[in-house]
A = this chain, B = another copy of it.
Amino acid sequence: MPHSVHPLSSLDTPAAIVDVARMQANISRMQQRMDTLGVALRPHVKTSKCIPVAQAQLAAGARGVTVSTLKEAEQFFEAGVTDILYAVGMAEHRLPAALALRQRGCDLKIITDNALSARAIAAFGRTHGEHFEVWIEIDTDGHRSGIKPEDAALLEVGTALHEGGMQLGGVLTHAGSSYELDTPSALEAMAEQERAGCVRAAERLRAAGLPCPVVSVGSTPTALSATQLQGVTEVRAGVYVFFDLVMHNIGVCRTDELALSVLTTVIGHQTEKGWVIVDAGWMAMSRDQGTRKQKHDFGYGQVCTLDGEPLPGYTVIGANQEHGIVAAATSAGTDVAAQFPIGTRLRILPNHACATGAQFPQYHALSPDGGLQAWDRAHGW
C-alpha cells in the first residue's frame, strides 16, 4: 500500500494500533484450544480494558470475563457483561461497591485467600442479606497470593465462607511464574503443576463436605502449554489477545501474531551515534522492559515499518518521557537520517501489552481493508 494513502498516515502520534485480523486470530486460537481441552475460557480483560475487544472474545465463545479492578467490573457490566470474576483478593473497604454491583444484577464473583477476609466478607454479606459468591485463591507456584493446596487454612477459609452463609463457588489459581520459563517442557510441567494443585485444593474442600463447583486456572503461557486439564472447569488468560515480546520470548507466539503496536514519528537524529529520535517515549511504551531478563532483550520495543514488518536489529534502546531512541548495534556512523528521514512513521512492538495499552485512552483498530476505528479503553480505578 503506498504510504500516501496508508490508513495510519493521518493519526497523531504516538498512537496505539490494534491489528484486528491478528487479534481475531489470537482470540480464535485460544478459544479453539480451550474447546479442545474441554474447558470454558474466561478472558482477563485487564489487558485491553476495552469493550470491543471483550465483545470479540465473547462472540468467539468465551464465558464471562475476569477483571483486575471493580472499575473494570463496572465498565463491563454497563456494557452488558454480567458474568464477572474480580480476581484480586477482596479488600473489606470494597465490599459496598461489590454489593452495589450484585444488587444491580451483576453476577460478580469475588475472591479471598485468608480467613480474616473471608469472615469479613461473610459478616458484611449477612448484614446486607447478600450471599456473595466467593472463590478461594490457591497458590500453586509460590508466585504471589493464595493458600497452598495442602494448607490447613484452605478448609478454615472454606468453612468460614460456607457456614458464614456465602456461596463458596470454587477455587482459582494463577501460575504467574510461567512468565519466567521459556521451553515447551518447562511450560508444560508448570501447566500441570497449576492444574494438579488447583484440582487437589478442590478435592480437599469436597472431601470436607464443602461445595467447590468451579476449578479455574490460568495464565497465557500455561493456557497455551497444558496438554490436558482434567478436573478444571475454566481457564483464565489475558495477554494472549494481543500477545507481546515477553510472550514471544517465552515461546508461545511468533512476532507476526503481535496485535498491538505503537505508531510513532521520527523527529530527529544523532547520526554519529546512529540514533533515530522518535516521539514514542516511556509515556507511550510504558517503562516495562520485561524482555531485559529474557533470552532476547528488545529494549523498549522492536521497531517495525509502517506496515508492521520488523526491522531486524532496530529496537528502542532508550526512552525519556516523550522521546524514544531507536538504534541498532550496527547503526552508529551509518546514514540513519537517510534511512529514517524526519517524518518517517514506524511501529513499535511492546514488551508488555497490558502495560503499553494502559498508557493510551484509546486504541485505533486497523482492519485488513484499511478501515480504522477508535476503541476507548479505561484508565484508573
Contact surface of A with B, Cβ cutoff 8 Å: 12-15, 46, 68-69, 88-94, 97, 113-114, 116-117, 120, 139, 142, 144-145, 176, 265, 267-270, 273, 277, 279, 282-283, 286-289, 320-323, 325, 341-343, 352, 354-355, 358-362, 379-381
Contact = CB atoms under 8 A, between A and B. Distances in A.
A113 B358 CA distance: 31
Contacts of A279: 88, 91
Given A277-B145, A320-B176, A379-B379, A12 B93 contact: yes
B380 A360 contact: yes
Contact of A91 (B88, B89, B267, B269): B267
Nearest to A360: B380
Lowest 8 A-B CB distances belong to which pairs?
A: A287-B287, A361-B380, A89-B267, A287-B288, A68-B322, A116-B342, A89-B268, A91-B265
B68 A114 contact: no
A147 to B, nearest CB: 10
Contacts of A323: 88, 144-145
A182 to B, nearest CB: 19
A283 B94 contact: no
16 contacts: A12-B97, A12-B381, A13-B91, A14-B381, A91-B279, A113-B268, A116-B341, A142-B270, A144-B277, A144-B323, A145-B267, A145-B323, A321-B355, A358-B359, A359-B380, A362-B380
A336 to B, nearest CB: 12
Given A145-B268, A267-B88, A283-B358, A93 B343 contact: yes
Contacts of A114: 268-269, 342
Given A94-B12, A289-B287, A322 B145 contact: no
Given A13-B91, A114-B269, A144-B323, 12 more contacts: A12-B94, A13-B93, A14-B381, A91-B267, A92-B342, A114-B268, A117-B267, A144-B325, A145-B270, A145-B277, A282-B288, A321-B354
A103 B262 CA distance: 31
Contacts of A267: 88-91, 117, 145
A218 to B, nearest CB: 14
A117 B380 CA distance: 37
A66 B268 CA distance: 20
Contacts of A68: 283, 321-322
Nearest to A277: B145
Nearest to A144: B323
A3 to B, nearest CB: 13
A113 B268 CA distance: 7
Contacts of A268: 89, 113-114, 117, 145
B322 A355 contact: no
A283 B97 CA distance: 21
A322 B379 contact: no
B117 A342 contact: yes
Contacts of A381: 12-15
A365 to B, nearest CB: 16
A89 B359 CA distance: 21
Contacts of A342: 92, 114, 116-117, 120
Contacts of A120: 342
A362 B320 CA distance: 22
Nearest to A266: B91
A114 B283 CA distance: 24
A358 B120 CA distance: 33
Nearest to A343: B92
Nearest to A143: B320
A12 to B, nearest CB: 6
